[in-house]
Amino acid sequence: MSQIAAAYRGLRIRDRWDSAPKPLHWLATLLVVAFAFYLPYLNILPFAYIRTDLTSSGSDWASVLFLVVVYMIVAVGLNVVIGLAGLLDLGYVGFYALGAYSIALFGSTESPVVQAMQSKFGLSEEWAVPFAACIPIAICMSLVAGVFLGAPTLRLRGDYLAIVTLGFGEIIRITARNLDDVTGGAKGIINVPTPPGPEIDGRAFFNTIDAERWYWLALSILILIIWLARRLENSRVGRAWLAIREDEDAAAVMGVAGFKFKLWAFAIGATLGGLAGLLFGSKQQYVEPNAFMVQLSFLFVAMVVIGGSGNIYGALLGAFLLTYLPERFREFVDWRPFAFGVALVLVMILRPQGLVPSRRRAREFEDRRHEAEEAAADV
Amino acid sequence: MDFDALISGLDRHTLDGITRGSIYALVALGYTMVYGVMKLINFAHSEVFMVGTWTVLGVYTVIGATAGMGLGTVIAATLLALLAAMLASAGTALAVERIAYRPLRKKGAPPLIFLITGIGCSMVLVETFGQVLRAIFGPPFGRVTVNIPSVLETRTVFTIPGLDLAVSNTRILIIVGAVVMMVALDTFVNKSRLGRGVRAVAQDPDTASLMGVNQERVIMLVFVLGGAMAGVAALLYTVQYDITKFDIGFIIGLKAFTAAVLGGIGNLRGALVGGLFLGIVEVYASAVWDSSWTNVYAFVVLVVILMFRPTGLLGESLGKARA
B185 touches chain A (CB under 8 A): no
For chain B, percent of residues with pLDDT exceeding 90: 40
Measure B19 CA to nearest chain A CA, in Å: 23
B100 touches chain A (CB under 8 A): yes
Number of neighbours of residue B282 by Cβ within 10 angstroms:
24
CB contact under 8 A, A352 and B104: yes
Cβ-contact B25, B229 below 8 angstroms: no
Q: Which stretch of DSSP H or E encloses residue A189?
A: strand A189-190
CB contact under 8 A, B110 and A365: yes
Tell me the per-residue pLDDT of A243-279, one tens digit each, with 9 for 90 and over.
888 888 888 888 888 888 999 998 999 999 999 999 9
Chain B residues closer than 8 Å to A334 by CB: 131
Q: Is-above-0.80 flag for pTM?
A: yes
What pLDDT is recorded for position A11?
57
Question: A8 or A230: which carries more pLDDT confidence?
Answer: A230
**Orientation angle between helical segments B45-63 and B111-127, nearest 10 degrees:** 20
CA dihedral over B288, B289, B292, B297, signed as positive or negative: negative
pLDDT reading at A374 higher than 80: no
Question: B233 or A54: which carries more pLDDT confidence?
Answer: B233
Tell me the per-residue pLDDT of A182-214, one tens digit each, with 9 for 90 and over.
888 888 898 888 888 888 887 888 887 788 899
B119: pLDDT confidence band, cut at 50, 70 and 90?
Answer: confident
Q: Which residues contact B305 (CB under 8 A, 6 or more apart)?
A: B262, B312, B313
Number of neighbours of residue A41 by Cβ within 10 angstroms:
10
Phi, psi of B67 (to 5 degrees): -70, 150
**Nearest-angstrom CA–CA distance, B205 and A374:** 15
Tell me the per-residue pLDDT of A279-301, one tens digit each, with 9 for 90 and over.
999 999 999 999 898 888 988 98
Q: Which residues contact A52 (CB under 8 A, 6 or more apart)?
A: A58, A59, A60, A61, A64, A324, A327, A328, A330
Cβ-contact A341, A325 below 8 angstroms: no
Chain B residues closer than 8 Å to A363 by CB: none
Tell me the per-residue pLDDT of A299-336, one tens digit each, with 9 for 90 and over.
898 888 888 878 899 999 999 998 888 888 777 777 87
CB contact under 8 A, A162 and B41: yes
> How far does Cα B181 stand from its chain's mean position?
11
For chain A, percent of residues with pLDDT exceeding 70: 93
- Residue of chain A minimizing CA distance to B256: A163
Of A8-17, A335-344, A346-355, which gets the smallest average pLDDT?
A8-17
Number of neighbours of residue B71 by Cβ within 10 angstroms:
8
Cβ-contact B237, B39 below 8 angstroms: no
CB contact under 8 A, B119 and A160: no
Cβ-contact A278, A142 below 8 angstroms: no
CB contact under 8 A, A168 and B122: no
Whether omega for the bond prior to residue A357 falls within 30 degrees of 0, making it cis, is no
For chain B, percent of residues with pLDDT exceeding 70: 97
CA distances from A214 to A219, A266, A303, B54, B165 (A): 8, 27, 22, 45, 62
**Nearest-angstrom CA–CA distance, A78 and A70:** 12
Tell me the per-residue pLDDT of B95-117, one tens digit each, with 9 for 90 and over.
999 999 999 988 888 877 888 89
What helix, strand, coil percent values describe chain A, rounded to 5? 75, 0, 25
CB contact under 8 A, A372 and B103: no
pLDDT reading at A239 higher than 70: yes
CA dihedral over A313, A316, A320, A322, signed as positive or negative: positive
Helix (H, G, I), strand (E, B) or coil at B2: coil
Helix (H, G, I), strand (E, B) or coil at B27: helix
DSSP codes of every residue in B135-199: HHH-TT-SSS-EE----S---EEEEETTTTEEEEHHHHHHHHHHHHHHHHHHHHHHHSHHHHHHH
A378: pLDDT confidence band, cut at 50, 70 and 90?
Answer: low
B14 touches chain A (CB under 8 A): no
DSSP codes of every residue in A114-153: HHHHHHHHT--TT----HHHHHHHHHHHHHHHHHHHHHHH
> Which among B39, B120, B306 is the nearest to A345, CB-wise?
B120
Rg, C-alpha atoms of chain A? 22
What pLDDT is recorded for position B156?
80
From the list B167, B3, B119, B207, the residue with the least C-alpha distance to A345 is B119
CB contact under 8 A, A160 and B306: yes
DSSP type of residue A200: B
Residue B237 half-sphere exposure toward CB, CA atoms < 13 A: 32
B321: pLDDT confidence band, cut at 50, 70 and 90?
Answer: very low
Q: Which residues contact B319 (CB under 8 A, 6 or more apart)?
A: B36, B199, B202, B203, B204, B266
| Range with top average pLDDT, A327-341, A360-374, B162-176 | B162-176
> What value does the mean pLDDT take over residues B24-33?
93
Q: Which residues contact B232 (CB under 8 A, 6 or more apart)?
A: B26, B82, B85, B86, B177, B178, B181
**Orientation angle between helical segments A258-284 and A92-107, nearest 10 degrees:** 50
Q: Which residues contact A93 (CB under 8 A, 6 or more apart)?
A: A169, A172, A173, A292, A293, A294, A296, A297, A300
CB contact under 8 A, A342 and B120: yes
Which one of B115, B215, B252 would you mutate to disrupt binding with A, by most A Cβ within 10 Å of its Cβ?
B115
pLDDT reading at B323 higher than 50: no
pLDDT reading at A242 higher than 70: yes
DSSP-derived pairing of the beta strands B243-244 and B146-147: antiparallel
What pLDDT is recorded for position B288?
85
Cβ-contact B268, B37 below 8 angstroms: no
**Nearest-angstrom CA–CA distance, A64 and A75:** 16
What average pLDDT is seen over chain A? 85
pLDDT reading at A46 higher than 80: no
Q: Which residue type does A163 have?
A: I
> What value does the mean pLDDT take over residues A132-152?
90
What pLDDT is recorded for position A98?
94
Q: Which residues contact B105 (CB under 8 A, 6 or more apart)?
A: A372
**Nearest-angstrom CA–CA distance, A222 and A36:** 11
| B residues 244..263 contacting A (CB < 8 A) | 250, 254, 257-258, 261
Cβ-contact B128, B99 below 8 angstroms: no
Chain B residues closer than 8 Å to A371 by CB: 108
**Nearest-angstrom CA–CA distance, A88 and B110:** 12
